Structure 1
Amino acid sequence: MNLEIIHACSSWKPFKTTLGQMGETRRVCWRMTTDELPLVVVFIGPGRPGLPCGSSCIPSAECALEKAPFVAPTPKFIVTPKSRSCFRRSPVIDQSSSTRPRPKSSDRIIPISDSTEFESATMFAADPNRNLTSSPVATKFFLFLLFLLHPHLQLAHAKKPHAIAFRSPALYPEAMAWDPSAQHFLVGSLRSRSIHTVSDAGVVEGLIHDDSLPPNSTILGIAVDRPRNRLLAVVHSVAPLPPFNALVAYDLRSPRRRRLFLSLLPPSPSGEDGANDVAVDFDGNAFVTNSFADLIWKVSPDGAASIFSRSPAFTSFPVDRDAPHSYCGLNGIAHVGRGHLLVVQSNTGKMYRVDAEDGAARAVLLDRDLPLADDVAVRRDGVVLVVSMNKLWFLKSEDGWGEGVVYDEAALDAERFPTSVAVGAEERAYVLYGHVLEAMSAAAAAAGREWFGIEEVRSERESQDEKVWIYVLLGLGLAYFMFWRFQMKQLVTHLNKKTN
């Protein structure tokens, strides 16, 4: 049937509506906008012909009571008892309903237009077969939970560790660094005066080829000075030419990688020197290890070199001279912040913390030695990675490296002789397989190996911890959802009692 609601309010307009078949009594009040579409629909329920407070047109509004099937719309207001709020009444067109009971004075109006939970509950009341999990609250909650778990799920269900095979004849890289600006690896060479880039897909490109260096020099250590866009490289040469130990810096911003300086490192009192690895601090100072004399050089940002530390701690532990590589002392070095350096010693398996201001050193108390430790890298979370020809160790400390613990280790392929470790994209650990032992053999080196590798190494313990956190978060999310579902059922029950 058609019903025309007539009223005197200027903001209300005549409106015709079809209320449908006869059924339970319901009261519908329409407030019209300029385009004659309903702006507010107020549903009170059978026997409660009233309008909420706050509308300027309520006194002159016309409402209707008709018999129609009960379909609960999404209300903007609901009447609840025990309130002292005003409740204005409006005349009803159907005079037969004048004897219907009026709302109690204790009823109150609760605006719920911004309540997502109440909208979910009323939708469930309109359709008892509706699934609560499809409500806006549940959808938003699960999307938020998925957002939190995405990094953990990505790690837990990741594919095999990333492996890069790259081809460069007779390169034999010993040193590796990660350039976060260009998003590629940098590798040196034992057989040439060059530095190359390696992409994550294994594409090799020449970056620097410095013919001014001695012909038989090798690049044993490299580091990227990110704040200044510099590349620092340790250069060492062996017989038959005279010994040569230097640190060279290149400008990564210039198209031709202009050389900034070449600093000759001063000889030690023993005269047996072997420059090996380099680290750079926040001020641009570079620290270079001397593997033969067990000391550390320091090179200022402008290239001034000096002997920085000859701490007695470096020679306080016995060395087995019959063991392989017993000639190699201080090796990998890294800056760990807080004004400290960490340096490992290959022939003793010890780690030292060195003050970056005065060079004072002390041994870090570890739960085990790190035999044949070669290189050091530091992740953003403070975890220190130490590589040897056999293993990659994961270390952490709670007191700024006065003490430390090896909480995990991963076995490596000793035949391929890993010599360097770097922290790449997404804080992943990578080791370099450069086959350097083969390069030291004249017969093998003559064959000219072409393929080398960079491979990601993961901590099994960290992977297990990630999986545990996933299960914990999923359990908390399920518990919260079940509690929310129970609350929604209670709210729906209470709503049905009020509307019926």
Structure 2
Amino acid sequence: MTTRTLLAGIATAAILSAMSPAFAQDINFATDDAYPESLTYSARQDVFFLGSVTQGLVATLDRAGTYSPFIADDRLVTTVGLLVSDADNTLWVTNSDPGAGIRTSAATQGTLAAIATYDATTGTPKAYYDLGALSQGAHFANDIALDADGNAYVTDSFAPIVYRIDTEGVASIFAQDPSFLTAEGFNLNGIAWHPDGFLLVGKYNTGELFRVSTTDPTDIARVALPEALTGADGIQLLDDEHLVVVQNLGADRIVELVSTDGWKTASIERTEPSALSMPTAAAKAGDDIYVLNARLDTLFDPKADKVGDYVLQDF
């Protein structure tokens, strides 16, 4: 017999179910010739920001898959790393030149390494930092992390350097070590700040993960991993003990690492293959993790058909 209490329980469950957000799902979108490589999410605006390897722009993407150009700045050749700070409504953008952009030039290819900041709501420019001018040689500003005070840290894939831009806007070489650069091509790549006072920095070509103290930049240690994560691109810290690593270079998967000893060591908790080719970046949006399937293999392969459809994969 159906009781009044049971009916009330069923009604309450139905109401709660209707009020609960839908389960996260992949976000499919399309854009001509943009080839987005970078990704960040603003909880303040409930919107994703995407970069562009070819067009050097920044676009927005909503959860319905609507892609809209947002920032067009002639200084930007290839927008590589993006990070939005909702606390001060600032969007940080790394600017480099891998030779695939419409504004690529002999003067900037392989040497450009800069950071531009913008108002995250209006797109109005705020500041511009020429990091490549801090040292000679090849440069490629790649990814960005912010600490709790608002200091920014930036990896250079072509030099053994992590840069720092402090809250006064002073840019400097923060950490420099021979182990950061051991081969041609892309070396340092993804970076994340840990609230215990260190950076986690991935190395693309060797699959290593470094722990770098933010109080003593000479205190650099390799995180012991169960296997080399070759092609480690973007990384996203979920909490003190969990880190998402987006892996391409043939691996084309997403890896969740866990560490219970302050990132002296880490183990693989779970993996998932990418939905499309060459995933490059991850962003946390509420309780969900989205991974950009960038398909850059089709851009750099002269024989491949170029594409315009992409997906933010729910991990």
2:114 is matched with: 246
AA at the equivalent of 1:373: A
Q: Does the aligned pair in 1 maintain the 2:193–2:199 contact within 8 Å?
A: yes
Alignment of 1:188-227 (within 5 A): 188-211=51-74, 213=75, 217-227=77-87
User: Which is helix-richer, 1 or 2?
Assistant: 1
1:6 is matched with: none
Q: Does the aligned pair in 2 maintain the 1:296–1:308 contact within 8 Å?
A: yes
1:437 aligns to 2:300 (yes or no):
no
Over residues 341-369 of structure 1, what are the superposed CA-to-partner deviations in whole Å (9 max), with x where a residue is unaligned? 11111111111111122322211122222
Other structure's SS at 2:270 match: strand
Aligned partners of 1:345 and 1:306: how far apart in 2? 21
Over residues 98-138 of structure 1, what are the superposed CA-to-partner deviations in whole Å (9 max), with x where a residue is unaligned? xxxxxxxxxxxxxxxxxxxxxxxxxxxxxxxxx7x8476x8
* Structure 2 counterpart of 1:346, from 204, 218, 224: 204
Q: Does the aligned pair in 2 maintain the 1:178–1:185 contact within 8 Å?
A: yes
* Structure 2 counterpart of 1:183, from 26, 46, 62: 46
Other structure's SS at 1:374 match: strand
* Structure 1 counterpart of 2:147, from 281, 288, 292: 281
2:269 is matched with: 407
1:308 is matched with: 174
Alignment of 1:73-472 (within 5 A): 134=3, 162-211=25-74, 213=75, 217-237=77-97, 238=99, 239-242=105-108, 243-253=111-121, 256-267=122-133, 271-314=137-180, 327-359=185-217, 360-380=219-239, 382-389=241-248, 390-413=252-275, 416-425=277-286, 427-441=287-301, 444=304, 449-457=307-315
The Cα of 1:276 is off from its aligned counterpart by 0.8
Over residues 22-81 of structure 1, what are the superposed CA-to-partner deviations in whole Å (9 max), with x where a residue is unaligned? xxxxxxxxxxxxxxxxxxxxxxxxxxxxxxxxxxxxxxxxxxxxxxxxxxxxxxxxxxxx
Q: Does the aligned pair in 2 maintain the 1:266–1:306 contact within 8 Å?
A: no
1:304–1:195 distance in 2 versus 1, CA, 3 Å: same
Q: Does the aligned pair in 2 maintain the 1:263–1:305 contact within 8 Å?
A: yes
The Cα of 1:146 is off from its aligned counterpart by 6.6
Over residues 183-215 of structure 1, what are the superposed CA-to-partner deviations in whole Å (9 max), with x where a residue is unaligned? 11110001112100011111011211112x05x
1:105 is matched with: none
User: Which is strand-richer, 1 or 2?
Assistant: 2
Runs of at least 4 residues of structure 1 off by over 3 A? 133-136, 266-270, 311-315, 441-444
Other structure's SS at 2:185 match: coil
2:102 is matched with: none
The Cα of 1:337 is off from its aligned counterpart by 1.2
Over residues 349-397 of structure 1, what are the superposed CA-to-partner deviations in whole Å (9 max), with x where a residue is unaligned? 1111111223222111222221110010022474210001211111121
Other structure's SS at 2:205 match: coil
Other structure's SS at 1:278 match: strand
Structure 1: tracts of 5 or more residues without a match: 1-130, 458-500
Q: Does the aligned pair in 2 maintain the 1:266–1:305 contact within 8 Å?
A: no
Aligned partners of 1:218 and 1:284: how far apart in 2? 24
1:494 is matched with: none
Over residues 416-440 of structure 1, what are the superposed CA-to-partner deviations in whole Å (9 max), with x where a residue is unaligned? 2111111123x21211112222223
Q: Does the aligned pair in 2 maintain the 1:267–1:273 contact within 8 Å?
A: no
- From the CA coordinates, give the structure whose radius of gyration is larger: 1
Say what the alpha-carbon RMSD is for the aligned residues: 2.8
Other structure's SS at 1:393 match: strand
Over residues 146-181 of structure 1, what are the superposed CA-to-partner deviations in whole Å (9 max), with x where a residue is unaligned? 79xx89xx89xx86x612221211010010111111
Q: Does the aligned pair in 2 maintain the 1:333–1:376 contact within 8 Å?
A: yes
AA at the equivalent of 1:404: A
Aligned partners of 1:373 and 1:179: how far apart in 2? 24
Q: Does the aligned pair in 2 maintain the 1:343–1:352 contact within 8 Å?
A: yes
The Cα of 1:338 is off from its aligned counterpart by 1.7
Give the percent of matched residue pairs that are identical in Structure 1 and Structure 2: 27
Q: Does the aligned pair in 2 maintain the 1:277–1:333 contact within 8 Å?
A: yes
